[in-house]
């Protein structure tokens, strides 16, 4: 129920034409929501229609309408290389739509740096990383700060590294609904029927506070020009 609300945000941000490729499809939830999307993952799974390395995608230049990634970017060792690939395969006007953790609010720092199991490195430098297509990814790699470092702290530098993509939208959202749901843990203190109403209420009432205090998630929309 929580992710369904997020998927609505993603769908509303998509470019109108061309195929929509999801990277890191995991257990296939977005594909269930948007059946026309093409589900891919780094390894071959029962939910992935194709095994695709996001840093070396098997799609021709300008052939893709949208690239969707939900909690995927911070698991990519070389995210700038991925964004260069997105720039290459997206058609003019095509979009990359990403949902990522937001670690810079007070609540985000507590949740991601104290309560969450994935590491957060605010010192990571994604702009001077070699890329070796024959080097497999560490299966447990993560840096929850990736989205903040690229799209907030170093956005101007990112623009010089990936000049064909422009960030056309950044939205912060989510406060209590996701933690109360238990995430992917086998417990929840939030009834499923309350997931969407609480998420909408948070969006409506807390938006001015998300950047500094309450925000847990970011929606970032990049457009090919």
**pLDDT confidence of residue 33:** 97
Q: Where are the alpha helices (DSSP H) in the chain?
A: 2-12, 29-33, 79-89, 106-110, 146-148, 155-161, 177-181, 192-206
Helix (H, G, I), strand (E, B) or coil at 116: coil
**pLDDT confidence of residue 51:** 97
**pLDDT confidence of residue 136:** 79
Specify the DSSP class assigned to residue 53: B
**pLDDT confidence of residue 186:** 86
Distance spanning both ends of the chain, measured CA to CA: 34
Closest CA to 180 of 165, 192, 168, 164: 192
Q: Give 10-residue mean pLDDT values along the chain (225 residues).
A: 96 96 97 98 96 96 98 97 98 98 98 94 94 84 98 98 98 96 89 95 97 98 98
Helix (H, G, I), strand (E, B) or coil at 68: strand
Q: Where are the alpha helices (DSSP H) in 106-162?
A: 106-110, 146-148, 155-161
**pLDDT confidence of residue 138:** 85
How far is Cα 52 from Cα 145, in angstroms, rounded to an integer? 24
**pLDDT confidence of residue 130:** 86
**pLDDT confidence of residue 187:** 87
**pLDDT confidence of residue 131:** 85
How far is Cα 185 from Cα 82, in angstroms, rounded to an integer? 29
């Amino acid at each position: 129920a929580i992710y369904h609300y997020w998927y609505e945000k993603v769908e509303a941000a998509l470019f109108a034409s061309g195929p929509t490729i999801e990277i890191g499809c995991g257990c296939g939830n977005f594909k269930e929501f948007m059946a026309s999307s093409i589900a891919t993952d780094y390894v071959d799974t029962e939910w992935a229609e194709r095994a695709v390395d996001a840093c070396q995608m098997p799609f021709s230049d300008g052939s893709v309408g949208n690239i969707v990634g939900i909690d995927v970017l911070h698991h990519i060792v070389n995210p700038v290389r991925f964004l260069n690939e997105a720039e290459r395969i997206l058609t003019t006007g095509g979009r990359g739509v990403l949902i990522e953790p937001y670690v810079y609010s007070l609540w985000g720092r507590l949740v991601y740096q104290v309560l969450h199991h994935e590491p957060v490195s605010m010192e990571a430098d994604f702009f001077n990383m070699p890329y070796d297509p024959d080097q497999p990814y560490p299966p447990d790699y993560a840096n929850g700060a990736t989205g903040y470092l690229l799209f907030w702290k170093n956005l101007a530098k990112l623009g010089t590294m990936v000049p064909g993509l422009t960030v056309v939208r950044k939205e912060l959202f989510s406060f209590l609904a996701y933690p109360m749901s238990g995430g992917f843990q086998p417990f929840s203190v939030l009834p499923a029927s309350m997931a969407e109403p609480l998420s909408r209420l948070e969006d409506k009432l807390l938006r001015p506070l998300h950047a500094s205090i309450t925000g847990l998630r970011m929606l970032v929309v990049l457009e090919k020009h």
